Each structure stands twice: as structure tokens, then as C-alpha cells.
Amino acid sequence: MPHLLTFLFLFSILNTPSQAQPTRITTTTSLSDTARPSYSWPATMESCLRLIRTGPDDQIKGLVYEIASTWMAAGFMGQANQLLTTFWSYKTMVSKDYPFMNEGFQIMWAVSRQQPASLPFKFGQVNDIVQQNWMDVLQPAWRDITDIKEECKDQPWANTKDSLLVAKAMRMSYDAHNPTLRASREQRLQAVKTLSHYLANRTPAGYDWFHSSTCATLIAASVGEDYAAKVFLRYCGKGYLQDLRGYTLLKLMSDTATARLLLSGTLAPVWGLTKASCDADLVRVLDVLGQRITKGPSLVYGQLPKKYFDRRIPQGSWQPSETIPRCRFKR
């Protein structure tokens, strides 16, 4: 009965004319505690440190960016900036490396007003980055498929199939004829309310969850519904722990409205991060990174030279037991 009343309440709001004062959107439920994360950030940090010590050279950049972006998204800008500044000082990056993740960093720096003293790339225009990000998230190519457009076009929200709710929410939030690319506030509010109900009844795993929770966060933040946006943001954080290799923080960092929410520390408790833990991990990662850059990869078996194993292990016969996270910083 309570769920039915909540559902009826939400749809009664959809049919109420908009008022001058912003409407506070109440999500239908919070994320179920039964959806236990498969990973934790502390465990991932240990994995990153091991791979920085022993992994291939071409993985180090991605691992450093992984750590820095996670700290940044949790609101710990100082630690992230110090790690990036030190890493860049080793001159292992070029300006074309991870250009889109660098754009996400730029939005976080612009909003926080905390920026490293020197950068290995040119600073872009904030408005251009934000606009491109909105377009990338809410106007993907499949959105223009005829059957989806026709089914979503004039269908009332209550009659739209679950499989098309996210597509409809995206369609109703994007307006190519508006210079800001944002649809009317009323349409975006409807999208937020519908996505709230949609996400509350799903498990935080897989691409569908990642994409729909990211869309919901961006749309809610765009209309100033911070309460709903923070709920959606925590959904994103839970999904990130479920599938660290399948998620990217880039889209959340590349929007000024969601960047403010990230900087408030919304995700820190979701990931179990504190200032003390980040400070301690910063010391460790800088030490490991410094040794790797100056001395090369460490060996698991004592101090024997790498060529000792090269002579005894046939090429391609050994594979690391730990899967190296793939880079998620490209659109």
C-alpha cells in the first residue's frame, strides 16, 4: 500500500501545473542494501599500486588517472591534483593522452577553483566542454532510430514501456533547437520523476544502470533538483563499485552542475573514502610511482634481473593473474 501511494503521488505531480517555486522531487525508494558491491575502492587501490609496481609501462598512465579521477569525484581535489602534478613532472604524458578525461578535470578545476600550477595540455573552453558532454550523454546515435522515436513521441509517460522509459526521458530532455540544448524545465522535471521510479526498481549493475543513472543525475542537476540528483549520484557510485572496469566518471565530471555535487563529497561515504585515507594513499602511490619511473618495474621474485626470466619463460606462455583495468577515458 505505501508503494502504491508513493506511485500515485509521483504521477499526480506530473499532472500538476508548474509553480513559480521549484518542486522538490522525492525518489520512490532508496537503493536497496541487498545490492552488495562486488568491489571496494580500498581493494582497488591496492590493485592499482601492485600494477604500478609490476605492470606494463603503457598501463601506468591509466592507473594514475583512475586514482586521480576517483579522488576528484569524491571531492578530494587537493590529493588528486598533487598526484597529477607529480606524475606530469616525470614527462611521461603528451598533450593528446586521454583528452576527454582531461576535459573532465578542467570542469572540476573550474568549479572548485583549484588547479595545478602547470598542465601538459591546453585548457579548453568550459562552456564548450559542458555542451558537448550534454550532447554526448543525451543524444546518442541510437536515439534517432525511427521506431524508438515513433513509440516515444506522443506516448504518455504512464503508458510507455519500461524498455523505452530511458529513451523517452532522454528525448524529452534534449532540444536541438535550443542554443543550450536543454528542453523546457517542465519536460526535464517529468524525465527526472520517471527516471526516479525506473531506477528505484532495478539492480545497480550493467551498462543500462550506468547509462540511466548518469542521465538521471545530469538531468536532475540541470533543473536544480539537488536532492534527487544526489540520490542518482549515489546510484552511480554504487554501480561504479559493481563494475569498476565498465564505468567512467568522465560524464559526471564534465558538467558544472554535477561537478558541484561531486565536490560536496556525496560519493566519499559510498566508496568508503576519507581525507585521512586519501592522504595516506597519496603518500604510498607517490612512493610507488617514483620508484617505478626511476627504477623500472619491480619483480615478484626478489631482486633477480628481468632478463633472467626472459630467457626462461617462452614468449606468451605467462599471463598475469590480475586483470589490468582497461582505460575508460575515451568517448
Q: What does the pLDDT look like over 294-307, one tens digit per residue?
A: 887 765 444 444 44
C-alpha cell of residue 234: 549515489
Do the domain assignments include residue 130?
A: yes
pLDDT recorded at residue 33 = 39
Q: Grid coordinates representing 183?
A: 528542453
Q: Where are the beta strands (DSSP E) in 25-110?
A: none
Which portions of the chain are predicted below pLDDT 50? 1-24, 28-37, 300-309, 311-313, 317-331
Confirm whether 25 is domain-assigned.
Answer: no
Is 179 a member of any domain?
yes
Considering its fold, how many domains does the chain have in total? 1
Q: How far apart are CA 218 and CA 172, in angstroms?
A: 13
pLDDT of residue 326: 45
For residue 329, is it within any domain?
no
Q: List helix spans (H) across 223-255.
A: 226-242, 250-253
Check: CB of residue 255 under 8 Å from CB of residue 130. yes
**If phi over 0 gives left and psi between -120 and 50 gives alpha, with beta otherwise, what is residue 316?**
left
Is residue 250 situated within a structural domain?
A: yes
Q: What is the pLDDT of residue 285?
A: 96
DSSP string covering 83-102: HHHHHHHTT---TTSSHHHH
Domain hosting 284: range is: 37-312
**Does a structural domain hold residue 13?**
no
Instruction: Read off the C-alpha cell for 40.
Output: 571496494
**CB-CB neighbours of 8 under 10 Å:** 10
pTM more than 0.85: no
pLDDT for the residue numbered 184: 92
